[in-house]
Chains A and B, each alone.
Chain A
Amino acid sequence: MSIFKNRLFWPAAILVVLLVINMFTSRQFVTVQDGHLFGTLIDILRNSAPLILVGLGMTLVISTGGIDLSVGSVMAISAAVACLLIQDLDDQNSVGPVLLIIGIAIVVSMLMGLWNGALVAIIGIQPIIATLILMVAGRGIAQLITDGQIINVQSGPYATIASGFFAALPVALLIAVAATALILLLTRRTALGLLLESVGGSPTASRLAGIGARRLTIMVYVVAGGLAGLAGLIYSANIKSADSISAGNLIELDAILAVVIGGTALVGGRFSIIGTVLGAVLIQTLAVTVVAIGIPSEANLLFKAVVVVALCLFQSPTLREKVFGRLTPRSAAGAEVTA
């Protein structure tokens, strides 16, 4: 019985169902080709990487009771900066400079996060509106950087972070896994997780318990910015170009959805990193499934709606109680009273 009670059971179950569908529709689910893994599953995992990264940052932000709408714009800026600099390299295939540029792009993204964090924690603006500012203006900045055009790069090392393989596994996936591990380590092996949950659970009580909520909040936005920047790099490396208009467009919605599916409440407090990752993979799998089973474009949203509705009903504690609760002896006693 307890397995059904776990919040992550139903997202996981739906994910498995979708994957099984894909197993039947795809010609190669997982195989080895050219010395690395290949197939639908690998595609899904690889393509989930940006959403996982953005979702991780979003989870941390939401755990403090905030929200970050600007992640999509930060992705666009980071991609634009990176591609602009790489384009000007003499040798786009030299690893050192490309790594440096990646570093620069991430630092720029973290500065964006710092801006958000400052607005929220120092000036005290409601997070949704504070990050809306960068959401709107940020994409404009990205457009300025790329002059409204798509910047193409031909850098092998850069493309590797999205489509390369290392030890038979996609590099993008490895990056996402590494980031997840890092965040897990950071939040669960240190006291960061506890302090964040406490700030999100009750800001007043946390303040009186001596928690420096302000610094933590800023930090969380900086991390979210950095992760969004990294996601932007993978997004752009995947298509070897910086597209300031479509990069990360509307990703904030998917990221928030992933966080909520993963069992983190939007009001803040308790959060689940693994849940978010699961949510992100689920969303990506859903997108793939829609194409794989040939749902017409105009019905995509309806299909998504059905899955989301099913998911939230299954997750609902009240419904669960109604369906499964009857089986337990004590509710039987309750039934006897009402009868």
Chain B
Amino acid sequence: GGGDSGSEDGGDDKLVLGFSQVGAESGWRTANTKSIQESAAAAGIELKFSDAQGKQENQISAIRSFITQKVDVIAFSPVVVSGWDAVLKEAKDAGIPVILTDRAVDSQDTSLYASFIGSDFVEEGKKAGEWLAKEYEGKSEPVNIVELQGTTGSAPALDRQKGFADVIAGNPNLKIVKSQTGDFKRADGKTVMETFLQSTPDIDVLYAHNDDMGLGAIEAIEAAGKKPGTDIKIITVDAVKDGMTALADGKINFIVECSPLLGPQLMELAKKVDAGETVEKRVLTKETTFTQEQAKTELPNRQY
């Protein structure tokens, strides 16, 4: 049990959680940060928050700083899967349990962290692919798919691409004709889609690695005089409010949820870990998928 850090107002028994966030690269991420900050306050946990600005070196030094500051539990969303062994070992040696959120690490020694809570990007890609495969089940004409990838080399981009490609490989009619990065950005989604539309005849489906790029692409499709959701079917990942609105409006056809709201679950885990209870090694965030109909009912409840 911790408590040796002793924050001024909370007395000795207040749990101190050090959390290192990847960065603030999207609205999704901001919602994630907010969820963690709010639920920490609600759970009476003192949160030490650090933003790594997308850099692994920052994150490593933040974790080390948490060790120096003698926090009770460390949690972090790894920027990248590899390369955490050394710093995790340091935490272990200092007797501080670690929880991974949102993204996994590839350490062979799984005792280095207590638990991993978060979504599975490959799974998200698969869900998107499965919906598509079902949509075109039994049809024989070729389906032209264009893909808007996330930031080149980033874990979500790689995994969402992989999961999707794996599933649609089962149907030879489904073909990805163009695939290009839109850097997870709305503006880039728009410009890349403009070029797709110009250079690729007969696009049937757009698969975007996040809502923002999809929303940008919708602008481009509309400007080209086509109807998003009808002329071109659109699948995206995330299910942020803007995306859900578009889904409800019929401009997007299917969204795979990737929930940023893992704050409450994380706080619960942190308390358990600190108390020395055994916890599950892998906790999946509660996530689902949305069709246009589901979106209409869900939309009023969306906070982010």
A residues bordering B, Cβ < 8 Å? 25-28, 33-34, 39-40, 43, 47, 143, 147-150, 152, 163, 235, 238-241, 243, 245-247, 249, 287-288, 290-294, 296-298, 300
Contact = CB atoms under 8 A, between A and B. Distances in A.
Contacts, number: 99
B263 interface: no
Interface residues of B, number: 38
Given A40-B198, A243-B185, A149 B30 contact: yes
Interface string B277-291: 000000000000000
18 contacts: A33-B225, A34-B225, A40-B199, A143-B24, A148-B27, A148-B30, A149-B304, A150-B212, A239-B187, A239-B216, A241-B242, A243-B186, A288-B191, A288-B195, A291-B192, A291-B195, A292-B195, A293-B199
Contacts of A245: 24-27
B34 A298 contact: no
Contact of B27 (A26, A150, A287): A150
Given A150-B186, A150-B242, A297-B149, A292 B199 contact: yes
Contacts of B198: 25-28, 39-40, 43, 292
A246 B186 contact: yes
Contacts of A290: 180
Nearest to A250: B183
A27 B199 contact: yes
A25 B178 CA distance: 13
A290 B182 CA distance: 12
B66 interface: no
B152 interface: yes
B191 A47 contact: yes
Contacts of A149: 27, 30-31, 304
Given A148-B30, A150-B27, A26 B191 contact: no
A176 B190 CA distance: 20
Contacts of A25: 198-199
B276 interface: no
DSSP majority for the B interface? helix
A260 to B, nearest CB: 23
Contact of A300 (B25, B26, B152): B152
Interface in B132-151: 149
Contacts of A39: 198
Nearest to B186: A239
Nearest to A163: B223
Given A26-B198, A27-B199, 4 more contacts: A26-B199, A246-B25, A291-B178, A291-B195
Interface string B169-212: 00000000011110111111011101110110100000000001
A287 B185 CA distance: 15
Contacts of A287: 191
Interface in B10-39: 24-27, 30-31, 33-34
B24 A298 contact: no
B50 to A, nearest CB: 15
A296 B30 CA distance: 30
B180 A238 contact: no
A40 B195 contact: yes
Contact of A297 (B33, B179, B184): B179
Contacts of A47: 191, 194
B186 A148 contact: no
A176 to B, nearest CB: 16
Nearest to B34: A148
A148 B181 CA distance: 23
Q: Which 9 A-B pairs have the closest CB atoms?
A: A148-B30, A26-B198, A297-B181, A291-B195, A246-B185, A292-B199, A239-B186, A297-B152, A25-B199
Contact of B180 (A43, A143, A291): A291
Nearest to A159: B219
A102 B225 CA distance: 28
B219 A240 contact: yes
Contacts of A293: 199
Interface in B216-230: 216, 219, 223, 225
Contacts of A147: 30
Contacts of A27: 198-199, 201
Contacts of A240: 219
A295 to B, nearest CB: 8
